[in-house]
Amino acid sequence: MKRTNLAWITASVLILLTLALGIAAAQTTKIAKTNVEIRQEIIKQSIASYKDSCPCPYSADGTGRMCGWSSAYDKPGGASPICFKKDVTTKMVIDYRKRTR
């Protein structure tokens, strides 16, 4: 086999190997969620865990009406669902990241 053919084959194998490793790494890399996405997920989970029909003021009750002031969010005592981004603390975001590693 000529020296140029061997060099070409070696280069081709290295290129294919590099591409294969790059594709494999891209498939296994977990993209980290942003803080905004985590806050949205915390709100979503909080609302999903509420058993009744009016966790948040912007939720709809059984008849399709907005819950408004009759929501659990606005009632003192009892359940306190997380309904707004401002309710999600930095500690909650950090704890979420720890739980979902």
pLDDT at 71: 94
Instruction: List CB contacts of 93: < 8 A, sequence separation 6 or more.
Output: 35, 38, 39, 42
pLDDT at 85: 95
CA distance 97 to 90: 11
Please report the sign of the dihedral spanned by the C-alpha atoms of residue 32, residue 97, residue 27, residue 37: negative
pLDDT at 59: 95
Q: At what angle do helices 90-99 and 35-49 cross, to 10 degrees?
A: 90
pLDDT at 68: 93
**pLDDT tens figures, 30-59:** 678 899 999 999 999 999 999 988 999 999
Q: Has this prediction a pTM greater than 0.75?
A: no
pLDDT < 70 positions in the chain: 1-30
CA distance 17 to 39: 40
Closest by CA position to 99, among listed 40, 30, 38: 38
pLDDT at 94: 95
